[in-house]
Chain A
């Protein structure tokens, strides 16, 4: 069995399809880097903040001075272009992945699922020898597995009452377009939101399989184009639709873009390849499922929410203020984080418990540095979630400066309103 699997993975296939994917992704990433700089996000996300939310274990990552940071982005652009034209593609992918990982490690607040996907794909392109005429089937299996898992977990995450019964958050988001001529009244119809929710879940759950099956592939890709571009038109999700449309091409026949006969060159499979494929895909299955080990609804607690393809699932608006108490203070001092955080940081932090706790620890350190003793930090944090009335989501009596952030902390209050306020449309 193992030998048969190994032989199947080692079987040489045309690498032209991977090169096409690599070129498309390279172009998208190059455009993405230019867009990032042109929109002023280097300044806004890395240079302007006086405080950065750090990733566990990566607290030492700091933004470089502006000229060096722009140089990093320039090298990222060069690497993306090299990927696009196929110049030293594995090294280019590795350079891109390292620099992209560095910039995205500076601050947790701007975390995006599609940034995570881009990083994963860049790492895979650094591993897969796309420059050869043929590759072992393992290379396609790895990429198809990765892209397929994104879709499937995105679909599984949508199997909940908010999405399927109440049509939330699409119902809220589509209502914004009520003023559009012709399509406005359609989009604002709550029943349409539910129908689109079902269609979205069905699309995510089936499209990798329909793309993988030759007889349905063309139709599936056409639907994918309509789906992703329509979502891109309706919602500000950046380059994500284009990344997914490029990624979906890995399901095409390996020689789909080749003119002329397919190469027959043998493609020796690296010894580590089968284990790498197995471990990589196992991790990619385990990460999105880690929430199962945690109590409480993950969309509310957000414990196990990142790196899990839980996309377009929640609409949250929050507001957090802190009360800092100390032995030498007559009364707690109220601190509005919006006074020091950037609007993006304040907004992202206001609905994500780990960031609320991280900023509390920062406040405690700041007050202690100012000479205060016995500093305690409490949060008045309220969140409105998927059309429910706003409620506290952090225990106001919990000292967040000292509170545990392991697992699902007890200071995350349970969801008080099980269902959205508006009744289901059907």
Chain B
């Protein structure tokens, strides 16, 4: 055999190998059935129904806000607040899904629904205006003046709420307009999950196959924990600054719902990781590469429960707990950190979610 013949043979073998591997790039040519089932369950069992329910919650909030403004009493205020709580809880449950339609430009629906820590001056500016106030006006006022935090600020003023609404008639106009705007935002988000969910199931653009969808979900779960730990607890605790508590950094401070937001978000994480038989959602732990690691499955389960228990153990709203029960908040922070570590190290490694070469390999 001459060298050229040898090389020719080798190239021929390679061509066969390449031809065998190439169909893997074409999702229509096949794919792992369970991966498809898993992603389908995420989309059809969780993302779409939960976003649809969020639209229903926003519509209920809008209706309750209208009822309250027509007859502002303690009872109708409570009903409006309950409706807000329901919507806020649902939105928090969707925390692991703040990608795709939620973050896409230019709509940035996620940020418009939930700006994060209330920027009170934005709400005050709108309240200080004059003239009619419609949903379009609220939308034009910017992300900080719309969505769930703004509605919370209106429903939960520092002083007596009924008195605040009575003193500022524009407050009611703002409330109803913001609630109406929220319906528009959530409806747009739910609608966008139609084609986006189809793309996820198919592993089609913007994804590069179903593996890419799973990789992204793993990354998003870790990122969700990062946000919960840092934005919801570390900043209020002052752990990212000088250690002094920062009550002004508490999310949902006015309603006292801060810790419940985190628990709801953790519930969403748990559903995607462990699955939920009632909703027919399959968990990541069902993937073979994870299921082969019973130690990891158990660790995830224990850490999810421990984090929830630690959050539940904080007996008072976060704003108070920062000074009254700081140790309990720090325990919750640490429990979330343990879960985050597992989601960002053990889980991706087990899944091979992104091949984690050593430092000197690959590019």
- Chain A interface (Cβ within 8 Å of chain B)? 109, 111-113, 116, 172-173, 175-184, 188, 217-219, 221-226, 229-230, 233-238, 252, 256, 299, 302, 305-306, 310-319, 329-336, 348, 351-352, 380, 382-384, 387, 389-390, 421-422
Residues of A within 8 A of B356 (CB): 315-317
Other-chain contact of B360, A112, A334, A336 (Cβ < 8 Å) = A112
Q: Add 12 more A-B contacts to A172-B350, A179-B31, A184-B24 (CB < 8 A).
A: A109-B359, A176-B351, A221-B7, A222-B7, A223-B10, A238-B362, A314-B357, A316-B356, A333-B243, A335-B240, A351-B358, A390-B346
Does B121 count as interface, using CB distance less than 8 angstroms? Answer: no
Interface centre among B241, B289, B337, B352 (most CB of A within 10 A): B352
A218-B352 in contact (CB<8A): no
Q: Which residue of chain B has its CB nearest to the CB of A372?
A: B242
* B18, B209, B241, B357 — most chain A CB neighbours (10 Å): B357
One digit per residue, 1 when the CB lies within 8 angstroms of any chain A CB and 0 when it does not, for chain B 280-310 equals 0000000011001101100100000000000
A-B pairs, 6 with minimum CB distance: A331-B243, A225-B10, A179-B32, A238-B363, A218-B6, A180-B24
Complex Cα–Cα for A222 and B3 (A): 9
B240 and A333 form a contact (CB under 8 A): yes
Do residues A237 and B363 form an inter-chain contact, with CB atoms below 8 A? Answer: yes
Contacting pair A230 B10 (CB below 8 A): no
- Pair B359/A317 contact, Cβ less than 8 Å: no
B361 at the interface (CB under 8 A from A): yes
Is the Cβ of A314 less than 8 Å from the Cβ of B9? no
Structural contact, B10 and A181, CB atoms closer than 8 A: no
Kindly provide the distance from the CB of A352 to the nearest chain B CB, expressed in whole angstroms: 5
A309 CB, nearest partner CB in chain B, Å: 9
Please, how many angstroms separate the alpha-carbon atoms of A315 and B358 in the complex? 6
Q: Is B210 an interface residue (CB 8 A)?
A: yes
A383 CA to B341 CA, complexed, in Å: 9
User: Are the CB atoms of B238 and A331 closer together than 8 Å?
Assistant: yes
CA distance A348 to B226 in the complex (A): 19
CA distance A237 to B226 in the complex (A): 30
Chain B binding surface SS class? helix
Please pick, from A222, A316, A336, the residue contacting B10 in the complex, using a CB distance under 8 A: A222
Chain B's nearest CB lies how many Å from the CB of A298? 11
**Among B30, B234, B293, B344, contact of A422 (Cβ-Cβ < 8 Å):** B293
> In the docked arrangement, what's the CA distance between A351 and B361, Å?
13
Q: Which residues of A contact B7 (CB under 8 A)?
A: 221-222, 225
Question: Is B241's CB under 8 angstroms from A181's CB?
Answer: no
Residue of A nearest to B209 (CB): A179
Q: How far is the CA of A130 from the CA of B357 in the complex (A)?
A: 36
Is B23 close to A, CB under 8 A? yes
Report how far A352 CA is from B361 CA in the complex, Å: 13
Interface pairs (24), CB distance under 8 Å: A113-B361, A176-B352, A179-B209, A181-B29, A182-B20, A218-B3, A222-B7, A226-B14, A233-B17, A235-B362, A237-B363, A238-B362, A305-B359, A306-B360, A314-B358, A317-B344, A317-B348, A331-B238, A333-B241, A333-B243, A382-B345, A387-B350, A421-B296, A422-B292
Using Cβ atoms and an 8 Å threshold, which residues of chain B touch A180?
A: 21, 23-24, 30
Q: Is the pair B345, A317 in contact by a Cβ cutoff of 8 Å?
A: yes
Contact B296 A226 (CB under 8 A): no
Bound together, the chains give a CA A321 to CA B222 distance in angstroms of 14
B326-346, CB < 8 A from A: 337, 340-342, 344-346
Choose among B23, B244, B355 the residue that contacts A235 (Cβ–Cβ < 8 A): B355
How would you classify the secondary structure of chain A's contact residues: helix, strand, loop or mixed?
A: mixed
The 8 Å CB contact of A112, one of B14, B226, B289, B362, is: B362
Once A230-B17, A333-B243, A351-B359 are accepted as A-B contacts, the answer to whether A382 and B234 lie under 8 Å apart by CB is no
Instruction: State whether A330 and B243 are in contact (beta carbons under 8 Å apart), knowing that A225-B11, A230-B14, A230-B17 are contacts in the complex.
Output: yes
Answer yes or no: B74 CB below 8 A from chain A CBs: no
Complex Cα–Cα for A143 and B20 (A) = 35
Contacts of B344 in A (CB 8 A): 317, 319
- Is B13 on the interface with A (CB-CB < 8 A)? yes
**Which A residues touch B211, using CB under 8 A?**
176, 179
Which interface residue of B3, B14, B356 has the most chain A CB atoms within 10 A? B356
Q: If A315-B349, A390-B342 touch, does A179 touch B24 (CB 8 Å cutoff)?
A: yes
B42 to chain A, nearest CB (A): 17
Distance of A12 from chain B, by nearest CB (Å): 22
Known: A181-B24, A226-B10, A331-B238. A389 touches B359 (CB 8 A): no
How many angstroms between the C-alpha atoms of A221 and B4 in the bound complex? 11
Task: Flag if B3 contacts A252 (CB, 8 Å).
Answer: yes
Known: A173-B352, A225-B11, A421-B295. A330 touches B242 (CB 8 A): yes
Collect the chain A residues with CB atoms within 8 Å of residue B31's CB: 179
Q: Which of A225, A312, A336 interacts with B357 by CB under 8 Å? A: A312
Question: Across the interface, do A179 and B355 meet the contact criterion of CB distance under 8 Å?
Answer: no
Q: How far is the CB of A68 from chain B (nearest CB, A)?
A: 24
Tell me the bound Cα distance from A317 to B340 in angstroms.
13
Bound CA–CA A221/B174 (angstroms): 76
When the two chains form their complex, are residues B234 and A334 in contact, meaning their CB atoms are under 8 A apart? yes
Chain B residues contacting A172 (CB-CB under 8 Å) are 289, 349-350, 352
**A-side contacts of B337, CB under 8 Å:** 380
Task: Name the residue among B5, B10, B13, B351 with the largest chain A CB count within 10 angstroms.
Answer: B10
Q: How far is the CA of A175 from the CA of B289 in the complex (A)?
A: 7
A384→B243 contact, CB < 8 A: no
**B239 and A333 form a contact (CB under 8 A):** yes
Tell me which residues across on chain A come within 8 A of B170, comparing CB atoms.
Answer: none
Q: Are A221 and B18 in contact (CB under 8 A)?
A: no
Q: How far does the alpha carbon of A99 sit from the alpha carbon of B358 in the complex, in Å?
A: 25
Complex-state Cα separation, A306 to B363, whole angstroms: 15
B9–A222 touching, CB < 8 Å: yes
Q: By the criterion CB–CB under 8 Å, are A319 and B341 in contact?
A: yes
Contact A348 B359 (CB under 8 A): yes
Could you tell me the distance in whole angstroms from the C-beta of B109 to the nearest C-beta in chain A? 25
Whether B345 lies near A390 (C-beta < 8 A) is: yes
Interface residue B137 (Cβ < 8 Å from any Cβ of A): no
Does the CB pair B299–A389 fall under 8 Å? yes
* Chain B residue at minimal CB-CB distance from A179: B32
Assembled-state Cα–Cα distance A332/B349 (Å) = 31
- List of A residues within 8 angstroms of B10 by Cβ: 221-226
Closest Cβ of chain A to B297, distance in Å, is 11
Query: Nearest-CB distance from A100 to chain B (Å)?
Result: 15
Q: Is B35 an interface residue (CB 8 A)?
A: yes
Complexed CA–CA distance, A109 and B359 (Å):
8
**Bound complex: CA of A96 vs CA of B359, how far in Å?**
24
Task: Give CA–CA (A303, B32) in the complex, Å.
Answer: 40
A315 to B355, CA, bound (A): 7
B355 touches A176 (CB 8 A): yes
Question: Does B230 lie at the interface of the complex (its beta carbon under 8 Å from any beta carbon of A)?
Answer: yes
Task: Give B304 Cβ to nearest chain A Cβ, in Å.
Answer: 16
